[in-house]
Chains A and B, each alone.
Chain A
């Protein structure tokens, strides 16, 4: 908790008649908030001898930590990979709209683009705290262009790149300054990838493996170099094979650094991955599951043509799907695990005492989701 007179004078808010996610379980407990932080009511009671200034009845709903989306390419007509003049207002619009879906923090994602786009767009999307105005920006997710040709998916072939001899300098030349970057997705089978992974990791940037034809060995080596995430598991990588599980094998590999948890993004819409495959991954390694949307600019809009970076996309019908695991697991996959991935679990993705609690965010979505 923040100390000082200011915090002590701030109003104490008590959410009652709710279930909260704490310690991996949904408990029938009240949630106490003061000055933008989750509060320990026992300390308040015995040490400060205070009661709540305001009580809010949640009608028996679940109070979950705000969701964190680490892969979202845009939405509501906004395309993060478009080098427009006013990138900032596009990001702000998406930030505001995803709030009502329960997302309080996100990593705007850029798909494979030419260097000019990165140089123009990246500096315009700084890290920003969330609030009533919109979800917080935790940093950018740069997906590509250092990915595999065969597994490029919807990324444009013309702009794919590999690392030349001066690998990390290549990366800097392509992206520009990395201050606003949080996650980089690359294919580890590319030459010189290990020095790049090590450099990025030293700078606190999360390296993710994706759009790759790497086998399990190459993937394990990449994890030893510092990779901690897998971009949309199963999609844009070699399929699981019992003699070489490929990147998917990282979920159960015994050749990873001790104590390291490998996280993996999953698009749980029932289309990108068959729900049975999703469940196999979840059962093999439940602590690593991170739910992502990988949403495109067409999110929230109807059918029709929309852009996705340098490509055009046609939308015709939408699907959504329920993950099929316990509510607590699903909630943790959308909040706690992405926070752990980004090393933010002390303040985000959790309702533990001392964690961040956006005041304005308490209006709509906190009292939400009877099930995911």
Chain B
């Protein structure tokens, strides 16, 4: 595991964005070679705050991706399980997920894999936990009755199959979940903990998210270069490389191992 600790939310966001960008450039995708970026699912299509609008405004409209290469789970499909199964097939057909980017819920869930989800689950329909419903209420004018209680989500197992997993955790309200995810055991009550068994994960967080971690853990990952290069190299060199110097990262890459 790599734990990247930045001072503020904006720095954590920027680091993560540059990391993704550099990974894509380094991968050098082409018509026969897809870089499959996995992202967690969201709200139904017709909602004004819908996931489609969110993805369009925050991502798709800024890049040159072809619509044919975007796949969003359709919460309005007639046969929801078939929709989920088809999604799994599409991932396989594209060569598997290269990099999965997700956040963590206050209850330690990844995507909508609520506490109690199987750690080998696949894409499926999931009932949402109260924590998640409360967190989503802001998209529905604070009206709890309007918040959907079910969602389609990629499974923990689906994400575990990705070649790399990046989790973004910011804010003090996520601190306890981060602690449970990385300092305690693998537990289906805190589904993010499953990634302790993944060969290549990056946790990107801000200072506030580390509030429940042991000082020892934080110091290890924030260590100055001469003591432990692992965290620092990724924090200062690899992530922040400007685009045209992407090739200069190879020294960091050869250093890195999970």
Contacts and interface: CB of A to CB of B under 8 A. Distances in A.
A18 to B, nearest CB: 14
A49 B56 contact: no
Nearest to A50: B67
Interface residues of A, number: 10
B68 A45 contact: no
B236 interface: no
Nearest to A45: B67
Nearest to B45: A46
Contact of A42 (B53, B66, B68, B72): B53
Which one of A41, A42, A48, A50 has the greatest number of beta carbons of chain B within 10 Å?
A: A42
A46 B67 contact: yes
Given A51-B66, A51-B67, A46 B52 contact: yes
A38 to B, nearest CB: 15
A50 B67 CA distance: 6
A42 B67 contact: no
A300 to B, nearest CB: 40
A199 interface: no
Interface string B139-169: 0000000000000000000000000000000
Nearest to B72: A46
Contacts of B57: 42
Interface residues of B, number: 11
B61 A41 contact: yes
Contact of B56 (A45, A48, A51): A45
A49 B61 contact: no
Nearest to B61: A41
Contacts of A50: 67
A49 B52 contact: no
B250 to A, nearest CB: 33
A44 B61 CA distance: 11
Interface in B24-60: 52-53, 56-57, 60
Chain A: interface secondary structure? helix
A45 B66 CA distance: 8
Nearest to A46: B52
B69 to A, nearest CB: 10
Given A42-B52, A42-B53, A49 B68 contact: yes
A48 B61 CA distance: 15
Nearest to A30: B61
Contacts of A44: 67
A41 B53 CA distance: 11
A51 B66 CA distance: 7
Contacts of B61: 30, 41-42, 45
A51 B60 CA distance: 11
A50 B69 CA distance: 11
Q: Which of B52, B53, B57 has the most CB of A within 10 A?
A: B52
A49 to B, nearest CB: 4
Interface string A165-182: 000000000000000000
Contacts of A48: 67
Contacts of B72: 46
A49 B72 CA distance: 12
A22 to B, nearest CB: 13
Nearest to A32: B61
A49 B53 contact: no
A30 B61 CA distance: 9
Interface string B80-97: 000000000000000000
Contacts of A49: 67-68
Interface in A20-56: 30, 41-42, 44-46, 48-51
Contacts of A51: 66-67
A315 to B, nearest CB: 49
B169 to A, nearest CB: 30
A211 B53 CA distance: 51
A46 B56 contact: yes
A45 B61 CA distance: 9
A25 to B, nearest CB: 15
Contacts of B53: 42
Contacts of A42: 52-53, 56-57, 61
22 contacts: A30-B61, A41-B56, A41-B61, A42-B52, A42-B53, A42-B56, A42-B57, A42-B61, A44-B67, A45-B56, A45-B60, A45-B61, A45-B67, A45-B70, A46-B56, A46-B67, A46-B72, A48-B67, A49-B67, A49-B68, A51-B66, A51-B67
Given A41-B61, A46-B52, A51-B66, 17 more contacts: A30-B61, A41-B56, A42-B53, A42-B57, A42-B61, A44-B67, A45-B60, A45-B61, A45-B67, A45-B70, A46-B67, A46-B72, A48-B67, A49-B67, A49-B68, A50-B67, A51-B67
Interface of B: 52-53, 56-57, 60-61, 66-68, 70, 72
7 closest residue pairs by CB, A with B: A49-B67, A42-B56, A45-B67, A46-B52, A49-B68, A51-B66, A45-B60
